[in-house]
Chain A
Amino acid sequence: MDMTYATAAAPTVAKRKRSAFARHIVAYLFISPWILGFLFFTLGPLVFSLTMSFYDWPVVGERTFVGLDNYRSMLFEDQQFWESLWITVKFAAIYVPFNIVMSFLLALMLHHIRFASGFFRTAFYLPSVISGVALVTIWSWIYSREYGLLNFMLSFVGIDGPNWLGDPNLAIIAIIIASLWGLGGTMLILLTGLKAIPKELYEAATVSGVPGWAQMVFITLPMLGPMLLFTFITSIISAFQQLTIALLLTKGGPLGSTYFFAMYIYDNAFKYFDMGYAAAGSWVMFIIVLLLSLGVMRWSAAWVYYEGEVRQNDGDGHA
């Protein structure tokens, strides 16, 4: 991916006589914390897990090299793999757009108020502050067929509520709703983005008689592009890594209808003690998410506008 930058050739004339590395040393210094962290804490585990995926690797006991066997049997023999992948894709396809659109709408609403704005921001962020164990206790109480809040409310309007988490068709929807409830973080990111758009742009537009919807399309959305892209990609990642809520709320059921791909990996590692297989699954997931993200990145070039894009000759860095 060539990012969203123009692929303009590097400046042909070096302004100062320095070697390529020295010229960029400042840039490397700035990113060095991450580079070091990558070398210390990420690269090793990465290589290790890739190696594991070529082994029959029980946590304890003999380890045997099996080549591509883990991948082969996962892709061609294991029903569970395809089922869980399909469930995850379905989840992501609904969760990601809803998460972004709803966050965006909420952010817009909050952007336009002054009175009690702090209260509302805090309110929408609240569910994100509650830790996993407690969240799930709350949701299972809401969805409970016999004793739940939701069906209790429905009973007032004469509806005999369904078994939300006990019906294979409804459980995934229930999980999506529970997940969307944690959209506070996404909303804040977009709100921060909205606040950063210079007001002068709107003032100028209003003066020139540009209608509100057009301001939205031609100012807000493009200016918010970088932040939207961010939420898009991070939402995809978190959709694929979705585990806690399903693990605690439905344990993958009923009848495997909420058995997500991350849970499949988790079970292979911690229930079946099959680390090699789990590692292979992780790599498959990694590749899928990476391809999706790269696709989004490439596509985003069409709609993301970077005000601060480092163009052409600025490229050498500042120093």
Chain B
Amino acid sequence: MLNRKSIIGSLLVLAIAGTATARAEETLRFATWDTDESLAIQQEIAKKFEEKHPGVKVQVEPYADGYDQKLIAAFGAGNPPDVMYMWNFPQYYTSLKPLDDLIAKDAAEIKPDDFPKGLMNTVRVEGKTYGMPSGFTTQVVFYNKDMFAKAGVEEPKDGWTWDDLRAKAAKFRDEPNKVYGFAVDAKPDPYDFEQFLWSNGTKYISDDGKKIDGYMNSDAAAQVLDMFGDMAKKQEAITLNLGDDTSGSTLFKGGKIAMFQSAMWSKSGIDASGIKYGVAPLPKFGDKTAHSALGVSAISIAKDAAHPDLAWEFVKFFSSPEAVVMRVNDLPVRTSVAEEKGMTKDPIYKPFFDILVTSNTETHAFLKNANWSKVQDNLARAIEATMIDQGNAKQHLDDAVARSKRLVK
């Protein structure tokens, strides 16, 4: 009995002690969605920042999968972190601090021209800048060199087309062993998926954000979807996310698919699996230019940040060459760092950078229309329906447009 009491007693003491940790120093709250290695890198960066700013503690708050839920609760209740990871600017920008004046003030230190233009476009809403890019990725195709060698298939080359990819993919199909040449996704992130429409000369929504009819359901768009459906039908590719959450990277690492379209976030896992792989650029549609979606991890400051000045110092440090060079899990947002590391010439990294050239020409749909997240769900359903039917894209896209009419005005 006494024993039990003392356990409860010490638990109580612990509980109370936990809440009474002294706040002798200034604490800067920094929220991130990253986990694992990427998180560890950010903690390193934060530690470096602390070294440079004695008396400052950076509290790294990883929310992982629950990022939006947590941030919504915090913003809704008026207690947001000072600095946070950000990509969904249209939804959050009204509570973020515009950074243009600060950037202009510290331009000499920041060197804004060191950032590729396309990246800066993704952190702007209505002409104002709400975040600084800290890492990014474009999309590429990873391929398994051993599987290519074994099957006697020629490895992909720069400037290859989807027809090339399909011809190669068909040669890997091995039914008894469940091996495929490629994987198509029935539930792709529509944000990334728009790259295929761009590459085929169309887009989800007009540039003024008011028209989807004739864009989202254009023949060029339907052609893209039908192509993926047909790849599944002809067994050139396995269909992902259709009743199965086995991921493409899992299949690729397990040697079940020979080619895998993805981004930097898959690379460290593939490295760890020990597979011999190469990286090819996204294929082209005929002779049209290939485009890639831009995945940018930016960091932003809350409008009501408790420590606005310190927050800006942190943001500056986070996108400084010193910090950018530490981020090995995504790509350096500073051209100078990328060149210094020789990444723009390295065959593994080169395809990621080459496609940046066209990244300045298109704007992601969600930056054009405030209701986009709802429209996007109808679109996602059209993509999924096409993958289930393995065709009929035009009809499904027309449905999506009809369902979305009410939202786009």
Binding site for B on A (CB under 8 A): 58-62, 77, 79, 137, 140, 143-148, 163-168, 171, 249-251, 253-256, 267, 269-273, 275
Contacts and interface: CB of A to CB of B under 8 A. Distances in A.
B75 A79 contact: no
B94 A166 contact: no
B10 interface: no
A148 B72 contact: no
Contact of A256 (B75, B238, B381): B381
Helix, strand, loop or mixed for chain A's interface? Answer: loop
A55 B384 CA distance: 34
B243 A166 contact: yes
Nearest to A165: B243
Contacts of A250: 243
Given A59-B76, A253-B384, A272-B373, A167 B94 contact: no
Nearest to A274: B374
17 contacts: A59-B75, A60-B91, A77-B406, A140-B244, A144-B243, A147-B178, A147-B244, A147-B246, A163-B244, A167-B243, A254-B388, A255-B384, A256-B381, A271-B373, A272-B373, A273-B91, A275-B72
B397 to A, nearest CB: 14
Contacts of B187: 251, 253
B153 interface: no
B139 to A, nearest CB: 21
**Chain B interface size range:** 20 to 34
Nearest to B91: A273
A13 B357 CA distance: 92
Nearest to B94: A61
A269 B244 contact: no
Nearest to A273: B91
Interface of B: 68-69, 72, 75-76, 91-92, 94-95, 178, 186-187, 238-239, 242-246, 373-374, 377, 381, 384-385, 388, 403, 406
Question: Which one of A60, A148, A167 has the highest number of Cβ atoms from chain B below 10 Å of its Cβ?
Answer: A60
A256 B187 CA distance: 12
Contacts of B76: 59-60, 275
B68 to A, nearest CB: 5
B243 A145 contact: yes
A146 B403 contact: no
A166 B388 contact: yes
A150 B141 CA distance: 32
Nearest to A275: B76
A271 B191 CA distance: 14
Contact of B374 (A148, A254, A272): A272
Contact of B178 (A62, A137, A146): A146
Nearest to B80: A60
Top 5 A-B pairs ranked by shortest CB distance? A166-B243, A165-B243, A61-B94, A60-B95, A166-B242
Nearest to A166: B243
Contacts of B186: 166, 254
Which of B95, B243, B381 gathers the greatest number of chain A CB atoms within 10 Å?
Answer: B243
A140 B245 contact: yes
Given A147-B178, A270-B68, 10 more contacts: A79-B403, A145-B242, A148-B244, A165-B243, A165-B244, A171-B243, A250-B243, A254-B186, A255-B384, A273-B373
